[in-house]
Amino acid sequence: MVSLQYPFEQSPPPGTTMEVSPGVRWLRMPLPLALDHINLYLLRDDDGWWIVDTGIGGGKTQELWEQIFANELDGLPIKAVLSTHMHPDHVGQAGWLCERFRVPFYMTRAEFYAARVMSEMPDGLSWTSEQYMRRHGTAEAHIERMRSSKMRMSSMVEPLPMAYRRLRAGQRLRIGGHDWKIMVGEGHSPEHACLYCAELGVLLSGDQVIAGITPNVSVMPTEPEANPMADWLQTLKPFGDLPEDTLVLPAHRLPFYGLRQRVSDIIEHHEDHMVALEKACQRPQLLSDLLPVLFKRELDPSQITMAQGECVAHLHLLMERGLIARELGEDGLYRFRTTDPDIADKHTSPGYQGDDSPHMV
């Protein structure tokens, strides 16, 4: 097995940038999460800079952006803002940036509308969300916590841009004399855009491909019967066909070489999760019985929703494959049971251990 290579050992200090490929600059912004940073990128065009991803909302990120504007742009203006997807660390300052510079905002259609809707969700819990959580055996205390939660998207993003320019899979953006092709991944978010430049051999991968952590792929209460793991695995595969010497510039952790290896490791990781779940379901299981199969560490309250969502995502794909059956008991709880005639012959890969806990990206 080939391991990944990390060409840059140090990330740029806050408020500064580092050139990682001709015309491509890397910068970091802080996040108030266990994963304490996001990587953002600047692409130099002939007449200004494109910003790729924007940081979470709030004054701290804006102060750091001011330092970047003052010192790092070589006298050129900002000419466009692009967000790979709708999560607050990526889209949090998009509205602020686009207002400030009166520049266009680029995003895929599903991400733009999902961001607009999710940032305007009302307080409280819908009956559909409550039903989803109850059927999956969520503890009453956690349901109450979610009912009064203030972790809404609107508290983490500046008011979003009111208009956008649509990115589509396969489209090419001409930036700095190079073509950047839009590649779309689904499953982590609805229509996540990555930018690939064949001439530079660079992939801006967003949250799609990250070294060391797999992004959260969750069934959310807003679409309780979704099958995001199927979308995730299917749309991830083409990234494994890009050239082996592609420099991957992800939204978290360090840039790396080893894209093909990383893609096949991520796919194997999820397939292993599914084998482990199948094995655990040889007798009917509640979701709460299955969380320790995937996550080895005790989950703190902030991780429960993601852990449940990710576990359900694996179960839904197994259901679609006809390998797991789900039944709603008279007690109102779902139970999952293996229906796979070949389960005795299936094994997880050598060294598979599950995850410590779900990743907050």
| Most distant CA atoms of the chain, gap in Å | 68
Measured distance CA(167)–CA(164) in Å, rounded: 9
Nearer to Zn ion, 23 or 92 (CB): 92
191 forms bridges with which residues in the sheet?
Answer: none
CB of 87 to Zn ion, least distance (A): 4
Q: Of 87 and 335, which CB lies nearer to Zn ion in the complex structure?
A: 87
Nearer to Zn ion, 27 or 318 (CB): 27
CB-nearer residue toward Zn ion: 226 or 286: 226
- Using CB under 5 A, count the residues that bind Zn ion: 2
**Residue 28: count of CB within 10 angstroms of its CB:** 21
DSSP code per residue over 302-353: HHHHHHHHHHHHHHHHHHHTTSEEEEE-TTS-EEEEE--TTGGG--PPTT--
What is the closest distance, in whole angstroms, from the C-beta atom of residue 333 to Zn ion in the complex? 30
Kindly report the CA angle at 168 between 37 and 46, in degrees rounded to 5? 70
Span interacting with Zn ion, options 81-89, 150-158, 300-308, 349-357, rule CB under 5 A: 81-89
The closest of 180, 15, 4, 8 to 106, measured between CA atoms, is 180
Which region, judged by CB under 5 A, interacts with Zn ion, from 87-95, 132-140, 194-202, 256-264? 87-95
Q: Which range of residues in 50-58, 80-88, 238-246, 263-271 is near Zn ion by CB under 5 A?
A: 80-88
User: Of 128 and 155, which has the nearer Cβ to Zn ion?
Assistant: 155
Q: Are 185 and 228 in contact (CB under 8 A)?
A: no
CA 89 from centre of chain: 10
Q: Could you give the CA distance from residue 92 to residue 61 in angstroms, rounded to a whole number? A: 9
Contact segment (CB under 5 A) with Zn ion among 22-30, 86-94, 283-291, 347-355 equals 86-94
What is the footprint of Zn ion within residues 126-165 (CB under 5 A)?
A: none
Tokens of 45: 């065009």
CA atoms of 235 and 232, how far apart (whole Å) = 5
Task: Identify which of residues 87 and 314 has a Cβ nearer to Zn ion in the complex.
Answer: 87
- 335 counts as binding Zn ion under rule CB under 5 A: no
Q: How far is the CB of 34 from Zn ion (least distance, A)?
A: 14
| Alpha carbon distance 107, 90 (integer Å) | 11
Cβ-based nearer residue to Zn ion, 115 or 317 = 115
- In terms of C-beta density within 10 A (0-12 exposed, 13-18 middle, 19 or more buried), how is residue 162 classed? exposed
Among 25, 44, 87, 136, binds Zn ion (CB under 5 A): 87
Rule CB under 5 A: which of 162-221 touch Zn ion? 207
User: Among the candidate windows 61-69, 82-90, 94-102, 219-227, which touches Zn ion by CB under 5 A?
Assistant: 82-90
Residues that bind Zn ion (CB under 5 A): 87, 207
